[in-house]
Chains A and B, each alone.
Chain A
């Protein structure tokens, strides 16, 4: 069975955002039947990488369920105001990454997720 295609796109195709700024992203699903989709979760979150165990902080979360009224595959826009911290960080043993994540729940308990990372920085380099 073919995996669904999850497309995520940031507004203006930017990859660097500033704290307190409004952050938009669009998401769309393809190569999947509407009847195969149970729910779609859309999140904006940070997670840590590096030597330590992974920590995660969810800034925005929305769960869209299949109610039969809307097509979960259609283009959907998420908009949220980014927090003032934590900023993206590329340290030696601690790294902080920000991403938009779309997780699809399919029939028979299958899951597919797609991340698109971005930088949350005080100054645009």
Chain B
């Protein structure tokens, strides 16, 4: 059940984000990253978005210069996994405003925050588009107000 890992890969195979919902050693992670990147990058555009790698089904999709790669159980629904990935991309697009690879590189924490509001333990936790983004922006607002408050303190207003 559920997504085991989500990896964002550039076309050159560089990792932009990686989230693991299963417990594996660093060595194993490195191996999976290397193997999966190799498999995915070798695929042509017309081919289907699914691959078999060991006992995992790799579901990937390319958005502009980035590959979104997930590993799911072989009994899971590949098609809905594509929709989950797509939802994630949509949310980032709204959040960053026309998201591009550079946004994700320089603000990768935000990309992780959005992901954490969308998935826990590899399971989708919220299907409302609005709610996820609202939660993120409210949390951003808390951070901003903290920073603002701190600034005031530093300047001696409070």
Q: Do A and B come from one complex?
A: no
Which A residues are within 8 Å of any B CB, using their own CB?
Answer: none
